[in-house]
Amino acid sequence: MFGTSGIRGPVGDTVTADLALSVGRALGAETDRVVVGRDPRESGRLLLDALAAGLRESGTDVLDLGLAATPTVARAVGWEDADAGAVVTASHNPAQDNGIKLWQPSGQAFDEAARTRITERIEAADWSLSAWDGLGDRTSIAVRHRHREAIVAAVGPDLAASLSVVVDVGNGAGGLTADALSALGCDVRTLNAQPDGSFPGRPSEPTPEHCGDLAALVAATDADLGIAHDGDADRMRAVTAAGDFLSGDVLLAVLAGDAATAGDRVAVPVDTSLAVADHLADRDVAIERTPVGDVYVAAAASEPGVAFGGEPSGAWIWPDETLCPDGPLAACKLAALAATEPLADRAARVETYPIRRESVETDEKAAVVAAVGEAVEEIDGDVTTLDGIRVDLGDAWFLVRASGTQPLVRLTAEARSADGADATLARARSLVERTLSTVQE
């Protein structure tokens, strides 16, 4: 039911008001006070009402932020001395989807044990409903200003002054970014700033293909950089003054290189490029690999000595600030860096390598990955099984991983040369094809 990013799926099919009611009842069985909010999708209104009803039926008080960025809700759990947070969002998914993600007081998403516990309660209808005089209250609260002030304090007043920034809100909940940048003294222009859950300006996920208008506007004006968010603003991607959309790995290397100092560690998922490790090694900063998913990166970032956590998809975590991916905070941190040195110059110092990706369709994805795990025992390389099978070959690596949402086995390969990347992908593909034929027999 719950993936690493919570519940997600098509509205009226996977995600229904009945499900939201059950999540509220299950969460209410363990809490007294919960912060809730939603992204701009129209379905979020009824789903949030159902979620709040389930919480209140359980005697839990609901603090309702209404339309709010996911990091605002996650931060508010601690600010409001609540037991948990719940956001109705499908994040970067298309308009027809919605979902629910749960948050701890630390700002970290519910971990696997907590998600499993809520799932078991839902499946067993394990809750007690309150009588008419024991229902929880539902109160509207506003903490956007507090989030803005926290960002300004973290970045430093006037650190980004005189900078010109274009923010593509993507019709989502990330308008706070423009407010915070303005408070820091930036000249801010916006694209797709009107919240609209049908995402008329562009698809919600901030990819190079979806952010062409942002790149063109930044390149055609005197803007110093461009920022793009997804629907709930937990992700942040960026464009240089020349209109070049930075890869997630390069952006990770730039942000981590600023956040960490010699002797620190940085948490990154297993599919992160060698470019990040090489860039940080030059600064005597080590990487700590995690499974794919911001919940795992956040868990690693909570450990002593980890100064930063990030995913190339656009989730960035500064553990001294919060354990949730905070897109508006990341945007302002990046603006502060661009104010002292052009973003393109910082990115140019990150040496990149060819990376190859491929998918193999199969209904037996788990069995195939397990069989690959047995086959790689014969390979002379460092094998890790944090999330799928990752084989480090020194100057190259490959990852064989089951898709979390589709009947696919995903292959990723990288090397420090194009021929090496092609050869490494071919090696991974051969392993999968051989094990696939065995599994299907």
* Candidates 5, 22, 43, 91; catalytic one: 91
Tens digit of pLDDT for each residue in 399-413?
A: 999 987 678 999 999
Q: Which domain holds residue 285?
A: 146-348
In this prediction, residue 5 carries a pLDDT of 79
Is 104 part of any domain? yes
Q: How many residues does the chain have?
A: 441
In this prediction, residue 406 carries a pLDDT of 77
Q: Decide if 170 contacts 178 (C-beta within 8 A).
A: no
Of 93, 105, 167, whose CA–CA distance to 327 is shortest? 167
Alpha carbon 420 to its chain centroid, in Å, reads 30
CATH (domain of 23)? 3.40.120.10
- Do both 138 and 105 map to the same domain? yes
- Do both 276 and 154 map to the same domain? yes
In this prediction, residue 250 carries a pLDDT of 98
In this prediction, residue 288 carries a pLDDT of 95
- Do both 128 and 152 map to the same domain? no
- Do both 315 and 206 map to the same domain? yes
Domain boundary among 75, 110, 142: 142
- Do both 341 and 383 map to the same domain? no
In this prediction, residue 439 carries a pLDDT of 77
- Do both 293 and 392 map to the same domain? no
Return all residues near 124 (Cβ < 8 A) that are at least 6 apart.
none
Is 2 part of any domain? no
Low-confidence ranges of the chain (pLDDT < 50): none
In this prediction, residue 4 carries a pLDDT of 73
Q: Decide if 317 contacts 164 (C-beta within 8 A).
A: no
- Do both 288 and 177 map to the same domain? yes
Domain boundary among 348, 373, 405: 348
Answer yes or no: 91 catalytic.
yes
Is 327 part of any domain? yes
Q: Decide if 228 contacts 168 (C-beta within 8 A).
A: yes
- Do both 80 and 47 map to the same domain? yes
In this prediction, residue 405 carries a pLDDT of 67
Tens digit of pLDDT for each residue in 42-81?
A: 999 999 999 999 999 999 999 999 999 999 999 999 999 9
In this prediction, residue 403 carries a pLDDT of 83
Domain boundary among 142, 161, 187: 142
How many whole angstroms separate alpha carbon 292 and alpha carbon 4?
Answer: 9
CATH (domain of 368)? 3.30.310.50
Number of domains in the chain: 3
Is 179 part of any domain? yes
Cα dihedral 72→245→405→109 (10° resolution): -20
Q: Give the pair of three-digit tokens for residue 94.
A: 């298309």
- DSSP 3-state assignment of 225? strand
pTM of the predicted structure, to 2 decimals? 0.94
